[in-house]
Amino acid sequence: MELKDILRKCDHTLLAQTAAWEEIQALCDDGIRYGCASVCIPASYVKRAAEYAAGQIPICTVIGFPNGYDTTAAKCFMAKDAVDSGADEVDMVINLGWVKDRRWEDLLSEIRAVKAACGQKLLKVIIECCMLTDEEKIRLCGIVTDSGADYIKTSTGFGGGGATREDVALFAKHIGPDVKIKAAGGIASLQDAEDFIALGASRLGTSRIVRAVKALEAEK
């Protein structure tokens, strides 16, 4: 697979609690230079990053992150605020306690509400696979499909586990035709990236693919 084809599927990501503007700015520069799908950054930097990037790359942010147990009203506020600040894409974390309580209708309603708050912008739904059973993952594939969200996403990267090949293959088998897959967390190499794309992922949430490409360039 061509490097440019891998890079255009990457959400070039920096979500560390200590992320400073200089690092966000460098992330934007690299995302633009390498033709990434977006930069995924903390909500507090969305407005400044959107102004800095000036339309050269989509701005993605996260809400209800990383635990997912904010109220629906809070998540909707965060989504609208992010979009109003210039976000093109929003990655939300579901309420994992509701999954364990089997509150399927509440989960569906919340995702629909956040999608409405996003307007025409992309919504990706993080289900944190490392905390779920396969039965729960399959049920959530159906809920995300019914919600009108654009993507189902494997992981926050903060939950103790990241994307696995098995989970992406499971998603591909159980999501509807209008839902895409984002694999995130632990994608460390170009081989990882190729594997996840081959299994059906349209987006990769990672900070390490651009780094890997830079390492290749340094060897030349």
Catalytic (active site) residue 178: no
Helix residue ranges per DSSP H, the chain = 3-7, 21-33, 46-53, 72-85, 96-100, 104-118, 134-147, 165-174, 190-199, 208-219
pLDDT reported for residue 137: 98
Determine the distance from the C-alpha atom of residue 66 to the mean position of all C-alpha atoms in its chain, rounded to a whole number.
11
Residues whose CB is less than 8 angstroms from the CB of residue 150 and which lie 6 or more positions away in sequence, other chains included: 122, 123, 124, 179, 180
User: What are the per-10-residue average pLDDT scores of the chain (220 residues)?
Assistant: 96 98 98 98 98 98 98 98 98 98 98 98 98 98 98 97 98 98 96 98 97 93
Determine the distance from the C-alpha atom of residue 178 to the mean position of all C-alpha atoms in its chain, rounded to a whole number.
17
Q: Which of 9, 153, 167, 192 is catalytic?
A: 153
**Could you tell me the pTM of the whole model?**
0.97
The Cα 6–Cα 190 span in angstroms is 8
Catalytic (active site) residue 137: no
pLDDT reported for residue 16: 97
User: Are the CB atoms for 90 and 123 separated by under 8 Å?
Assistant: yes
pLDDT reported for residue 220: 80
Q: Which of 91, 150, 167, 192 is catalytic?
A: 91
Determine which helix (DSSP H) or strand (DSSP E) holds 90, and give its type and residue range.
strand 89-93
What residue ranges do the domains of the chain occupy? Answer: 60-219
pLDDT reported for residue 207: 92
What's the CATH fold of domain 60-219? TIM Barrel (3.20.20)
Catalytic (active site) residue 4: no
